[in-house]
Amino acid sequence: MASSSSPTVVSPDPTVDNNSDGSSEEEEDVRSSNKTRTAYSCIQIIKESHRQQIYAVEVNTQVQYQNGILFASVGANSIQIYKFDTNTNKTQLVHAYLDPDANEEYFACAWTTIDDKSEDSPKILLAAGGERGVIRVLDIHRKAQHTALLQTGAINHITFAKAKPNLLCTASKNFTITLWDVLSSMCLAVFHGPNGHTDQVLCVDINDSCTMLASASMDRSVFVWSLTSDKIREQIDLAENPIHEQKRRLIKAYPVAFADIEAKAKTLHSHYVDNVQWYGDVLLSRSADNTFCLWQPILGNTTKASSFKLLLKWVVNEKEYIWFLKFDICRASQLLAIGTLDGQIQVWDLRHHMHNPSVDFVKLKNQNSKAKISRVSFNYDGSILVACSDDSRIFIWKRK
């Protein structure tokens, strides 16, 4: 369902500290002997003008700009889009959007790039959602709203499918996962019901081939759902194929009540599961008690996942349990990073850590970072790491 209200274009003046580099301001607590690939320096700090918590920051890894990266942040009722120059180590505010509802609070954002036959260049879209359940899909080149999607329940997390970049999936506070097509603005499927999650869904991710969907919840479970059923395939075809345009107005979202895998608390996690992400054909999940699990869905005879195999499990000892942190994985460099309650960032070299679970992580510290780091995001090759904090700061780290 489309929303009639459009966000207002504003030009806030975030405070940018371009002199963040320097050994006096930062240090690395290295617990691994192999530290070269996980050695970063904080080169810039941005203070956003809304002075409220930044819930998410997301680097666009799909489009590689010469000497730069594009990233977005969401906090309060604003969406900020920045371009960072890797040569000068300076950041430019490209565009900013202010939601017409002052009570809106954005919790998540995600990028996608879609080939547009009517234009010379691909369509670069940014989706953001939060407390009101409205998904703003912004066209970056046109600096305008592409569409707005409305669902019931606040949105905790958003992701796009890599194999089908027009497909967007949301994780919601009302225990549901929703699959959308952003080009047709169609709601395709809703994953919920008595056999679904029984508490807030905190994170969602789609595998590379767009055949399975993984969801993590406050009910301490991770579900894996099939995207290959005849009905879901039919819904996707109705949204994508122009010959069905007249039928789209009559289409209702397909309800899915049965997950193909239910990874229950006793098996993997015993606290809120706030992260799940595909890492090739396996899944990495994390719970609020700082337990990380690497596991593999096992396919049954019906081509649907029916069980799973735990490959690796480790626990990071912290003073407090904290949830609604989002980690990120850089596949090109095989790095894992997540923020902490005291403003630090933990970085693992997955190639080393997976073969020797006893090897610990590298801690990135900066004297100006004291508040919780809610989200971290790598660029495509792991040379840049962007993080956001509860005190409205963005930290840009560059590999040494």
DSSP H helix total and E strand total for the chain: 2, 32
Q: Check whether 362 has a pLDDT greater than 60.
A: yes
Q: What is the pLDDT of residue 122?
A: 87
Q: What is the pLDDT of residue 21?
A: 43
Amino acid at residue number 6: S
Among 191-195, 203-207, 274-278, 294-298, where is mean pLDDT lowest? 191-195
Q: What's the Rg (C-alpha) of the chain? A: 20
**Average pLDDT of every residue of the chain:** 86
C-alpha pair distances (Å), 140 with each of 12, 71, 278, 348: 17, 11, 27, 33
Q: What is the pLDDT of residue 158?
A: 98
Name residues whose C-beta falls within 8 Å of residue 330's C-beta, 6 or more positions apart in sequence: 336, 337, 378, 379, 380, 381, 382
Give the pLDDT confidence of 57-75 residue by residue, as tens digits: 999 998 888 889 999 999 9
Contact 366, 29 (CB under 8 A): no
Q: Check whether 30 has a pLDDT greater than 60.
A: no
C-alpha pair distances (Å), 168 with each of 64, 159, 177, 186, 213: 21, 6, 10, 10, 11
- DSSP codes, 281-306: TEEEEEETTSEEEEEEEEE-TTSSEE
133 or 19: which carries more pLDDT confidence? 133
Q: What is the pLDDT of residue 298?
A: 82
CB hemisphere CA count around 110 (13 angstroms): 26
- Confidence class of residue 25 from pLDDT cuts 50, 70 and 90? very low
- Confidence class of residue 361 from pLDDT cuts 50, 70 and 90? confident
Q: Centre a 10 Å sphere on the Cβ of residue 308 and count the other Cβ atoms it contains.
A: 20
Rounded to whole angstroms, the Cα distance separating 202 from 272 reads 9
Q: Check whether 194 has a pLDDT greater than 90.
A: no
Average pLDDT over residues 85-91: 93
DSSP element (H, E) containing 232: helix 230-240
Q: What is the pLDDT of residue 301?
A: 59
Name residues whose C-beta falls within 8 Å of residue 360's C-beta, 6 or more positions apart in sequence: 31, 32
Q: Which two tokens stand for residue 127?
A: 């989706």
Average pLDDT over residues 90-109: 94
Give the pLDDT confidence of 252-283 residue by residue, as tens digits: 787 887 787 777 656 789 999 999 999 999 99
Q: By three-state DSSP, how is residue 29 classified?
A: strand
Average pLDDT over residues 148-176: 95
Q: What is the pLDDT of residue 27?
A: 52
Q: Centre a 10 Å sphere on the Cβ of residue 310 and count the other Cβ atoms it contains.
A: 12
Rounded to whole angstroms, the Cα distance separating 146 from 345 reads 34
Average pLDDT over residues 81-88: 94
- Confidence class of residue 33 from pLDDT cuts 50, 70 and 90? very low
Rounded to whole angstroms, the Cα distance separating 354 from 267 reads 20
117 or 146: which carries more pLDDT confidence? 146
Whose tokens are 């998410």? That residue is: 56
